[in-house]
Structure 1
Amino acid sequence: MSGNRVVEYMGPGEVAVNSIDYPKLEIPREVAEWLGVRPAAPHAVILKVVTTNICGSDQHMARGRTTAPVGQSLGHEILGEVVELGSDVLFLKEGDICSVPFNIACGRCRMCFEGKTGICLNVNPARPGAAYGYVDMGGWVGGQAEYVMVPFADFNLLKFPDRDQALEKIMDLTMLSDIFPTGYHGAYTAGVTTGSTVYVAGAGPVGLAAAHAAQLLGASVVIVGDMNTDRLRQAKSFGCETVDLSTGDALPDMIEQILGEPEVDAGVDAVGFEARGHGADAEEAPATVLNDMMTVARVGAGLGIPGLYVTGDPGAVDENAQVGQIGVRLGLGWAKSHSFATGQCPVKKYNRQLMNLILTDKAQIAKAVNATTIPLDEAPASYREFDQGAAKKYVIDPHGMTS
């Protein structure tokens, strides 16, 4: 192979499909130098990308709301076919169809041994934790591409038991790399269980995944809040209640109209740092969702926060928010004895079990998030549509394998 094509960030509001080198079985040079090891990665594989999804986290970079440099490759939601193996890969073979957790993990450090693969200590010189195609996450090439290299493959990859079955359910299985486990993590860490009432802030793909996960965990009522009527309609399509935050009505009052009381048992923040206040013309107010959840969550409730919060946001509303310091009413959460769960989802903690739900038709995640397939060349246009609020989860099919 002589080349590869990948989606890259080209400046605020602009992404493009560009040609790069075909991947090598090597880890990024900066990671190798930091670890004091050679770049050669006999533990790695190269995947022919079958599907790779556009994520809301990618949109933060595409909007210019992170410190991503021009030329940053994109894409951390990957499902692929093994086409080349390093000499130390023992339990995979060419032709295997696998899901790639967006967390890159070595499988050897203290955090990996504790199951906290989202904060692996050996894959990123900048801080614990790494991901494909993301700013400050180790320099790993993104997976919105034709081919991608996956390190520590025996540990990281989730191999599907049957190739034909996997290809048949590919639109559901492609969600295992990120949003299905991430949504599930948000609901699970919020303490959602049998009979729970749940408020999910945000009806984008992660919010919809969290809502579906809350249903799987046994919630009696799942309420999804957003300002986008198309996305709220999508939430209703699989049995969620909804609240339209563009009306400017008080959130506790809207919840009381649904439940008969202004409180819920658990809350999930699937919005993150680009949150806006309530009302059709509301301006950005990054602490809005966290304060909303503390307001409507009953005493002793759990709050799951899979929504992304960053330490560097050049487009933030003020100097404090530029470094991730926002006006959260922590005293309210403390007074109500709330628990908070933040950070990257450790995908490996959940992906095998969620795969089993998909393969046995117990989970319908592609339907819940309105999965829509596109070719690689349509990625730039789909980024623009997604940024404008399209109620879809865009799934890139670089090789035409999903038909």
Structure 2
Amino acid sequence: MSSNKGVAYIKPGVVEVQNIDYPKLALGDRKCHHGVILKVVSTNICGSDQHMVRGRTTAPEGLVLGHEITGEVIEAGRDVEFIKVGDLVSVPFNIACGRCRNCKEGRTGICLNVNPARPGAAYGYVDMGGWVGGQAQYVMVPYADFNLLKFPDKDQALAKIKDLTLLSDIFPTGYHGAVTAGVGPGSIVYVAGAGPVGLACAASSQLLGAACVIVGDMIPERLEQARSFGCETIDLRKDVSLAEQIEAIIGVPEVDAAVDCVGFEARGHGHNCQHEQPATVLNSVMEVTRAGGAIGIPGLYVTGDPGAKDDNAKIGMLNIRIGLGWAKSHAFYTGQCPVMKYHRQLMQAILYDKIQIAKAVNVQVISLENAPNGYKDFDKGAAKKYVLDPHGMVPA
């Protein structure tokens, strides 16, 4: 039996690299003839993983983490027709059957057949179907023909792997946030949060033709990273309203589109920046988005948060000023990004040098064994996107 190692959640603040089972082409007691086993080429630490590691979800001890996976096919099930051993592929973080109503409508983030508890599933994530995560040396991927995106040229893909690894989640997620907020040529956009998804959203907004992209955060290094590729920035620690700071940049206190890339661990602005206020971002973007504008919400909100400060927030019930959004006829778009809706087009944008997404989010490659340190640095607000290299395959 071959060996395998993976990054496991142990308790709040602690992850460990452990020996884990080598994957099988099986779903419980039955064969998974439609699946493949991947040798993981790159797998990324995500802010969504960090929510679990902070103890802000009901994640169980021992959960193998990781839903951002790029790998080489080393074994294929009997029923896999179009993906071959040796192919280098991107794995959407959404697990989708390709057969249910939602999948056929392109809504692969809420597949009806891959999670007995609720619509939608993901690798290595709490309440998302119990699938083993991909921060590992090897992982099993089901419904391979439907889910996997094959790179057309393996050598070319390895040369651009730092960019292509982001296709599994944060690049499509950031792009989805911008698209659902209505970003297009000439748009003025506000992106809340300069973590990796926020930076990916800002770069995506530029790709979509935005005239001005404004990014707000409380961490100076992350704001500096946003400025490095042409964004305007707002320091949310200042005791100046968001609307006033936007007006100082563009002359008016409102934007065409806004994207919440923060989620449920949001903090207050200004003098309240040390205190969690989970509805802060949602309420602030309603204030600064023009009447008739749209708000994309790829930032994660959960139905169970044991670390929340009050009983309502523990079940995802937030103090949202929905009357303001209604009065301004705002459109809101929530939920997981359906990665397959975008990843082929975004792959082409990378391969044809239309975007340098790894540079925008400041990819830093580390070994699988160094994952615990990556989690610690990321938790401190490092302006980096950590990519794990389990087999030393990522070019320097």
Residue 371 of structure 1 corresponds to 363
SS of match in other structure, 1:340: strand
Aligned residue type for 1:68: A
Residue 339 of structure 1 corresponds to 331
How far did residue 20 of structure 1 move? 1.0
SS of match in other structure, 1:309: coil
Residue 197 of structure 2 corresponds to 206
Residue 22 of structure 1 corresponds to 22
Provide runs of 4+ in structure 1 moved above 3 Å: none
* Partners of 1:4 and 1:39 in 2: CA distance: 22
* Partners of 2:2 and 2:217 in 1: CA distance: 45
* RMSD (Å), alpha carbons: 0.7
Residue 320 of structure 2 corresponds to 328
Aligned residue type for 2:303: T
Are 2:75 and 1:84 aligned?
A: yes
* Partners of 2:384 and 2:356 in 1: CA distance: 15
Residue 65 of structure 2 corresponds to 74
SS of match in other structure, 2:81: coil
SS of match in other structure, 1:303: strand
Please, which runs of 5 or more residues in structure 2 have no aligned partner? none
Choose which of 178, 184, 196 in structure 1 pairs with 2:187.
Answer: 196
How far did residue 248 of structure 1 move? 2.2
How far did residue 279 of structure 1 move? 2.3
SS of match in other structure, 1:64: coil
* Partners of 1:26 and 1:257 in 2: CA distance: 58
How far did residue 63 of structure 1 move? 0.2
How far did residue 255 of structure 1 move? 0.1
SS of match in other structure, 2:376: helix
How far did residue 212 of structure 1 move? 0.3
* Partners of 1:248 and 1:126 in 2: CA distance: 43
Residue 359 of structure 1 corresponds to 351
* Partners of 1:202 and 1:63 in 2: CA distance: 18
Task: Show the 5 A alignment for 1:38-77.
Answer: 39-77=30-68
TM-score normalized by the length of structure 1: 0.97
Deviation string 1:30-49 (CA, Å, 9 cap, x unpaired) is: xxxxxxxx621000000000
Aligned residue type for 2:109: G
Deviation string 1:173-199 (CA, Å, 9 cap, x unpaired) is: 000000000000000000001100000
Residue 319 of structure 1 corresponds to 311
Deviation string 1:67-123 (CA, Å, 9 cap, x unpaired) is: 001111100000000000001000011110000000000001000000000000000
Residue 10 of structure 2 corresponds to 10
Residue 400 of structure 1 corresponds to 392
Choose which of 288, 292, 306 in structure 2 pairs with 1:296.
Answer: 288
Residue 106 of structure 2 corresponds to 115
Deviation string 1:358-387 (CA, Å, 9 cap, x unpaired) is: 000001100000000000000001100000
* Partners of 1:158 and 1:310 in 2: CA distance: 28
* Partners of 2:312 and 2:151 in 1: CA distance: 45
SS of match in other structure, 1:324: coil
Residue 32 of structure 1 corresponds to none
* Partners of 2:384 and 2:192 in 1: CA distance: 17
How far did residue 249 of structure 1 move? 1.2
How far did residue 145 of structure 1 move? 0.2
* Partners of 1:225 and 1:236 in 2: CA distance: 11
* Partners of 1:129 and 1:104 in 2: CA distance: 7
* Partners of 2:311 and 2:376 in 1: CA distance: 28
TM-score normalized by the length of structure 2: 0.99
Aligned residue type for 1:282: Q
How far did residue 171 of structure 1 move? 0.3
Q: Would you say how many aligned residue pairs link Structure 1 and Structure 2? A: 394
How far did residue 330 of structure 1 move? 0.3
Please, which runs of 5 or more residues in structure 1 have no aligned partner? 30-37
Are 2:90 and 1:99 aligned?
A: yes
* Partners of 1:180 and 1:240 in 2: CA distance: 17
Aligned residue type for 2:143: F
Deviation string 1:149-168 (CA, Å, 9 cap, x unpaired) is: 00000000000000000000
Aligned residue type for 1:193: G
Are 2:272 and 1:287 aligned?
A: no
How far did residue 2 of structure 1 move? 2.5
Residue 33 of structure 1 corresponds to none
SS of match in other structure, 2:31: coil
Task: Show the 5 A alignment for 1:127-276.
Answer: 127-276=118-267
Deviation string 1:240-281 (CA, Å, 9 cap, x unpaired) is: 000000112110000000000000000000000000001264
* Partners of 1:102 and 1:39 in 2: CA distance: 23
Aligned residue type for 1:14: V
SS of match in other structure, 2:256: strand
* Partners of 1:97 and 1:142 in 2: CA distance: 18
* Partners of 1:336 and 1:197 in 2: CA distance: 17
Aligned-residue sequence identity (percent) comes to 71
Aligned residue type for 2:32: A
Residue 35 of structure 1 corresponds to none
Residue 299 of structure 2 corresponds to 307
Aligned residue type for 1:299: A
